[in-house]
Amino acid sequence: MGSAHERILVLDFGSQYTQLIARRIREAHVYSEILPYNVPLARILERRPAGLIFSGGPASVYDRKAPSIPAPLLEAGIPILGICYGMQLVTQVLGGKVARAAHREYGPATLLVDDVTDLFKGLEGERARPTVWMSHGDRIEEMPPGFRSIARTSNTPVAAMKATSPGRRIYCLQFHPEVAHTESGVTILKNFVHNICGLKPDWTMRSFMTDAIAAIRDQVRAGQVFCALSGGVDSSVAAVLAHRAVGDRLTCLFVDHGLLREGEPQVVRETFAKHFKIKLKFINASARFVKALDGVSNPERKRKIIGRLFIKEFEAFARKAGKADWLVQGTLYPDVIESVSFKGPSATIKTHHNVGGLPARMRFKLIEPLRELFKDEVRELGKELGLPDEVVWRQPFPGPGLAIRILGPVTKERLATVRAADAIVEQEIRKAGYYQKVWQAFAVLLPVRTVGVMGDERTYDNVVAVRAVTSVDGMTADWARLPSEVLASISTRIINEVKGVNRVVFDISSKPPSTIEWE
């Protein structure tokens, strides 16, 4: 787990690439975390980082409210890598001069490396002139005292610089080593974390797993542990991890609210009871949920009803099970991350996402073993724990389930329609090899009917919208450019096989301004 490992802290100044920096460092098997640039100095130091990276950002250091850092941070003896805005900030704080570049530089540039002793170690011979990715309007006019240039481009005399006195390990790059377009970017970042910060590449999923199990064991010395399973990858991985730590003291609860995807309850049941021998209480509550939702159209009301009923089921279960002290939750890093660029306006939109939230009076102590991981890392951990692909690669699914994919009133019939259409979308997406390439692909049942003709009959039937998006975290998304043949087979099959549907449309909106789900 991160706490047992030395870490790199990435201070976020609002760059769209901040997350990518943290990921690249983790890919180099070093644990890294993102913090907003303005966390108090004491909080940074208490985390005892082995290195700091300052991200890029949209501001200019001369803007009136430009984000800055306390000068003592630069003199704390911690190795620092400033990227783009991070470089300009270091320059300004240490007494150099930043100015508007005559030409704003965006996109590729050829780097001429002048010093291959540390940060650019290995960038020799054929690798001496890498293409790097620039994205800046300001440039370094005058380096701060005690710095020298270690690389240039034809437009930028100081494309990289370092502090000259030995022991003062401050490095800066005008370009972005974290983006895939920068050649040897990974080498540069590895040089920084492995050689300059002196961190061993020993942060792997296996080491994370071992540490996380030990940490839960340590935390939960006695008492009963509960986990609400949703069937998704996050809660499943969290449950299996907790089970490894506390064994039979863990009981999982799976509430089938009748709003799940086709086959989902069975997969969860089989996986947990058969393969993992985890105590699983399976509650089929579909009739209660569907009845409560009958005729309800308002999206927020649907969510509230589902959240409330879920809590009721959980309370009834907890009452029967006796005293439970701990609750395992599959909270991920994106849910806890405090970063300037990561949150943003969508932060508040997402607050309703957790199914209801359990009442405060239940007073569980929380175990959140995944709170340091990104989604794909959770999948890797799931594989490490032996979870089947079925679960590990399940696409995300909202807590309120199909209820928020039926626009207008939820009824049993409409549930059956959207579930059947959704299963076809999934099958065709899998068949075409797109299941793991898209973040989510699903069907939405619209509250409109349109005219069609089937055989010689006029029909007046439902419309299904197909939504397929690419995304890294669900916070932003783009509609997936699926091949037209795939769309064609989805459409043909839905119209032919799902009763009551005579038209299929494809959603071509990105998030923002749309959201992934329609409600």
What is the amino acid identity at position 441? A
Catalytic residue among 84, 197, 227, 252: 84
> Would you count residue 466 as binding ligand XMP (CB under 6 A)?
no
* Per-position x/- string for 338-367, each x denoting binding to ligand XMP as judged by CB under 6 A, each - no binding: -----------x--xx--------------
Q: For this structure, is 227 an active site residue?
A: no
**Cα–Cα distance, 474 to 347 (Å, whole number):** 11
**How near is the Cβ of 230 to ligand XMP at its closest, in Å?**
7
* Per-position x/- string for 433-452, each x denoting binding to ligand XMP as judged by CB under 6 A, each - no binding: -------x------------
* Per-position x/- string for 301-330, each x denoting binding to ligand XMP as judged by CB under 6 A, each - no binding: --x---------------------------
> Would you count residue 297 as binding ligand XMP (CB under 6 A)?
no
Strands 170-173 and 80-83: parallel
**Cα–Cα distance, 497 to 399 (Å, whole number):** 27
What is the amino acid identity at position 297? S
Contacts of 73 (CB under 8 A, 6+ apart): 41, 44, 52
Nearer to ligand XMP, 115 or 517 (CB): 517
Paired with 294 in beta bridges are 410
What is the amino acid identity at position 3? S
The Cα diameter of the chain in Å comes to: 86
* Per-position x/- string for 397-436, each x denoting binding to ligand XMP as judged by CB under 6 A, each - no binding: -xxx------------------------------------
**How near is the Cβ of 100 to ligand XMP at its closest, in Å?**
37
Nearer to ligand XMP, 67 or 399 (CB): 399
Q: Which position among 108, 146, 396, 500 is part of the footprint of ligand XMP (CB under 6 A)?
A: 396
**How near is the Cβ of 306 to ligand XMP at its closest, in Å?**
8
> Would you count residue 510 as binding ligand XMP (CB under 6 A)?
no
C-alpha torsion sign, points 373, 378, 384, 386: positive
**How near is the Cβ of 410 to ligand XMP at its closest, in Å?**
15
Catalytic residue among 178, 313, 372, 380: 178
CA-closest candidate to residue 444, choices 418, 424, 426, 423: 418
**Cα–Cα distance, 173 to 258 (Å, whole number):** 54
Q: For this structure, is 84 an active site residue?
A: yes
> Would you count residue 515 as binding ligand XMP (CB under 6 A)?
yes
List, as own/partner pairs, every contact residues 161-170 make where C-beta atoms lie below 8 angstroms and the sequence separation is at least 24, other chains included. Answer: 161/87, 162/115, 162/118, 162/119, 169/79, 169/80, 169/196, 169/197, 170/74, 170/79, 170/80, 170/82, 170/90
> Would you count residue 511 as binding ligand XMP (CB under 6 A)?
yes
Nearer to ligand XMP, 83 or 443 (CB): 443
**How near is the Cβ of 198 to ligand XMP at its closest, in Å?**
39
CA angle 455, 460, 461 (to 5 degrees): 95
Paired with 228 in beta bridges are 253
Q: For this structure, is 252 an active site residue?
A: no
Give how many residues touch ligand XMP by CB under 6 A: 14
Binding site for ligand XMP (CB under 6 A): 303, 349, 352-353, 396, 398-400, 440, 474, 511, 515-517
Active site residues: 84, 176, 178
